[in-house]
Structure 1
């Protein structure tokens, strides 16, 4: 039996939902939410990211990311630093890096339950399939 694209899409959504629930439960042990850990993860990859950049990367609105960043600054997880002009940038604190590292270990455990049976080539193939971009139209400039 061949699965329909709708069935595959729904299976991906259900898997994402299970990951979010499990991740939030495990990260709560560290006093983090999935979104907070995701902010820490992105700041590790993109030091001094702007509030807007973080909002886009974590699927938040600028307003909700601003409120989240304020809470994270108060907890000592991130710092605000002056960027060019009036720009405000963000970076990890030592405490934030410790939380990111601990959260990453928990996330690996959560994801291992879903993908641990896959070999390295299968993981690479799955990643490639999930990150495909829509091809440009033939007559695009």
Structure 2
């Protein structure tokens, strides 16, 4: 097994997760990046737009555009932060979609890594974390 084969397997699993999650989130009317913003706001309620960009693997500019679309859709609202900072928080609809999306993502992950034993999942997480540095 080569390093490239391992890299491709990791990418293939990520692509599978992304594709299946996208299908399951579509009936909720959100994309995977939009759901990820809702999830990250839930986990980090004080996150700035820059923080959200980093947490969701986006540029500041693309995160700003995404936030604008999510505000227009009624998923998040802007709130005042310290200094000039502008923060965002989920609306009740956004929070409901976050919860429903979490169930969808859990089903995607259950179909793949959920098939591993608890010990195998622990080993996988340990190895991926180690590889990240």
TM-score normalised over the length of structure 1: 0.88
Identify, as 1 or 2, the structure richer in helix.
Answer: 2
Q: Distance in 2 between matches of 1:123 and 1:41?
A: 22
Unaligned runs of 5+ residues in structure 1 are 135-141
Q: Report the RMSD for the aligned CA atoms in angstroms.
A: 1.1
Q: Give 1:118 deviation, angstroms.
A: 1.2
Q: Which runs of 4+ in 1 moved over 2 A?
A: none
Tell me what 2:107 maps to. Answer: 109
1:27 corresponds in structure 2 to: 25
Report if aligned partners of 1:48, 1:81 keep a CA contact under 8 Å in 2.
Answer: no
* Corresponding residue SS for 1:79: strand
How many residues align? The count is 132
Deviation of residue 121 (structure 1)? 2.3
Deviations 1:81-109 (A, max 9, x none): 11111110111221111000000101111
1:8-27, aligned counterparts within 5 Å?
8-27=6-25
3-state SS of 2:84 partner: coil
User: What is the CA–CA distance in structure 2 between the aligned matches of 1:88 and 1:61, rounded to whole Å?
Assistant: 17
Q: Does 1:69 find its partner at 2:67?
A: yes
**Alignment partners' CA distance in 1, 2:81 and 2:120:** 41
Query: How far apart, in 2, do the equivalents of 1:130 and 1:92 lie?
Result: 31
> Residues of 2 paired with 1:131 and 1:39: CA distance?
22
Corresponding residue SS for 2:119: helix
Over alpha carbons, which structure has the higher Rg? 1
Q: 1:81 maps to what in 2?
A: 79
